[in-house]
Homo-oligomer: A and B are copies of this chain.
Amino acid sequence: MKINHIVESQQFTVPFLMELFSRANEMKKIVARGGTKDYENRVMTSLFYQPSTRTRFSFESAMYHLGGKVLTTEQAQLFSSEIQGEHLEDTIRIIANFCDVIVLRHLEAGGAKRAAAVSPVPIISAGDGAGGQHPTQGLLDLYTIFSELHTLDGLSVAFSGSLDQGRTSRSLTYLLSKFSRIKLYFIAPKEMQIKQDMLDHLDENNIIYQVTDSLDNVIDKVDVLYQTRFEAERFPNTNIDYEKYRIDVPRMQQMKYNSIVMHPMPRDIEISHNVDSDPRAAYFRQSRNGLYVRMALFSMLFDGE
């Protein structure tokens, strides 16, 4: 299946997702055997305009386990230190001379699309801007649900956190809306709730959802609780009671025995460390899945050339 660039969750079809997950399962076995050398001629560039070590390492480790090599910067904005403004397109066209794929973390929503428009090598967005997307996070999140629960149809998934600007919850919501009989819950204080454009998207796709500020009313109903950070610093003058949204051992006791708790990490206080030992706490396995999904993604990009 041919893909050129990975810039937004909307671009993925269900057949693409199924092939990706099949390959990710394969990659899991390959990693257990110590990796492959099938892509040892490949050079990836991590072109990060801001540091995001976790995401960067996940991509780079994926490339290493495929046998490839890595060029890396976390301060790509210094390319242009001499120059007013920014010439992302020039940078991309030059960097593309040195590698086979560019993993781009940009500061502005839409940066990945601008890059893809001029790049002779595949661009993979590793997140672009607040309110933008982080499509490979969405893919690994969806793969995690699929791996853990063995289906994507008929699930109840709750998102919690400051959802108004949540790049990861946006990306996963787009992906889930492609499946059948999904029910979504958006749990947040009203100031941080999911934006109308996402709800419109769900309406168009006939997805049932509920918007609420009560975790406790919902927690026993969900198969997946996707917790994210509450960016309290953006809401200094509110009286939000963050304890209401905190996942701790008592709240875990209310959850279904075969549900899972996910988090894109890093976490703050919104998941108690006491929860880590609960087998339903899937967030470290979720992070590990990033390795397999990104390996799968690289293999699809390279094989499709």
Interface residue ranges, A against B (CB under 8 Å): 34-35, 41, 43, 45, 51, 53-54, 56-58, 60-61, 64-65, 69, 71-76, 78-84, 87, 89-91, 93-95, 97-99, 229, 231, 265-268, 273, 284, 287-288, 290-291
Contact = CB atoms under 8 A, between A and B. Distances in A.
Contacts of A266: 79-80, 82-83, 87, 90-91
Nearest to A54: B94
The 5 closest A-B pairs by CB, nearest first: A34-B41, A61-B98, A97-B288, A51-B78, A64-B69
Given A53-B73, A83-B268, A97-B287, 5 more contacts: A43-B61, A53-B76, A87-B267, A94-B284, A97-B288
Nearest to A42: B34
Given A64-B43, A99-B61, A284-B97, A90 B53 contact: no
Contact of A97 (B35, B91, B98, B291): B291
Contact of A71 (B41, B60, B76): B60
A211 B7 CA distance: 49
Nearest to A78: B51
Nearest to A89: B273
Contacts of A287: 94, 97
B54 A84 contact: no
B90 A267 contact: yes
Nearest to A232: B84
Contacts of A265: 90, 94
A265 B34 CA distance: 37
